[in-house]
Amino acid sequence: MSDASQLLEVLTLERTGPGRFRAQNFAEGAGNVVFGGQILAQAIVAASAIDQEKVLKSVHTIFARGADRDQPLDVEVEAMHVGRALASATVTIRQGERLCTRSLALLSAAEPDLIRYGATPPDTGTPEDAEPLGSGDFWELRVVGGVDISDPDAIGPPELFVWVRFPGARATGVLGQALLAYATDGFLIGTAMRPHAGVGQSMAHRSISTNVLSHTLTFHEPVDAGQWHLLAHESPYAGRGRTYGRAHIFSADGDLVGSFVQDNMVRSFPEGQTTGR
């Protein structure tokens, strides 16, 4: 089982040249495929290097191809614009000649409010009211209502509320954003499966073919990933072999600190494709 120090090492990128980094992989997840949340977190760290006076506002990542955990990743960052209030960059992650992901990142300076409001959290109780979910030593997960998205026979509405924190980690600033980004990747496919009998996340990559296709994450406020945050997921559409999901991120005090959306693939394996490929 991996611990927090190993995840933090993976988020420490080795600079290999101007706008170039080498990234290692975290030994968590099923099979030998790099978890998408890790790549998303590394893209945030890389993009933030173009202007350390600003903070990451949003990142949009297309997952074109998978990556193997036993090989390092090459990260290329190209600044598109660095201005007074905003900066932007592309982040491309490759494994050898294989282009795996490309991200568009927007950075922003803090500016005074002209207007301000934020959505209110759902009434889910506190983290202590939720059911602990088996996970690694590097984070804590608690699921409201004890929902089991892995169980194909556990039927419910296409929504899921998950509390998450990374205890003991230095988890503010860019690192806090990266850690929280890691946590946003893993639940929206399972959320979309909930209304359908005989379909559960335990079947992914085994008897059904699933994959995150794109992930867009926006931060509204600074975060401390060492503290509890509620990920309030919902999936308003599934069809044509795809699902769409979205979520808000709330602090334990009820402040809206982030939002994200995913386009996902959920389908039968194509004829001739081996299970788990």
Q: Are residues 140 and 220 in the same domain?
A: yes
Amino acid at 38: Q
Closest CA to 203 of 216, 190, 184, 187: 190
pLDDT recorded at residue 1: 44
Q: Are residues 71 and 95 in the same domain?
A: yes
Q: Are residues 82 and 208 in the same domain?
A: no
Domain closes at, from 110, 133, 158: 110
- List of the chain residues with pLDDT < 50: 1, 276-277
pLDDT recorded at residue 277: 44
Q: Are residues 85 and 58 in the same domain?
A: yes
Q: Are residues 149 and 72 in the same domain?
A: no
Closest CA to 118 of 216, 218, 214, 186: 218
Q: Are residues 83 and 60 in the same domain?
A: yes
pLDDT recorded at residue 271: 65
pLDDT recorded at residue 59: 98
CATH number of the domain residue 270 falls in: 3.10.129.10
Domain closes at, from 54, 85, 110: 110
pLDDT recorded at residue 32: 86
pLDDT recorded at residue 175: 95
Q: Are residues 79 and 135 in the same domain?
A: no
DSSP SS3 for 241 = coil
CB 59 within 8 A of CB 104: yes
DSSP SS3 for 243 = strand
pLDDT recorded at residue 30: 61
Q: ∠ CA 56-178-213 to the nearest 5 degrees?
A: 90
CB 92 within 8 A of CB 21: no
pLDDT recorded at residue 272: 64
Q: Are residues 12 and 134 in the same domain?
A: no
pLDDT recorded at residue 62: 98
Residue 4, token pair as written in the block = 């927090």
pLDDT recorded at residue 43: 98
CB 255 within 8 A of CB 181: no
| Burial class, 270, CB count within 10 angstroms (exposed 0-12 / middle 13-18 / buried 19+) | exposed
Q: What is the SS3 string spanning 199-210? A: CCHHHECCCEEE
Q: Are residues 27 and 130 in the same domain?
A: no
Does residue 119 sit within a domain? Answer: no
Does residue 116 sit within a domain? Answer: no
Q: What is the DSSP letter of 272?
A: T
Instruction: Evaluate the CA torsion angle 265, 93, 38, 228 in order and state its sign.
Output: negative
pTM: 0.93
Q: How far apart, in whole angstroms, are the C-alpha atoms of residue 126 and residue 123?
A: 9
Q: What is the DSSP letter of 251?
A: E
Domain closes at, from 110, 132, 151: 110
CB 75 within 8 A of CB 93: yes
Q: Are residues 261 and 178 in the same domain?
A: yes
Domain extent for 59: 1-110
Does residue 102 sit within a domain? Answer: yes
Residue 179, token pair as written in the block = 């850690």
Does residue 183 sit within a domain? Answer: yes
pLDDT recorded at residue 121: 97
As for how many domains the chain has, the answer is 2
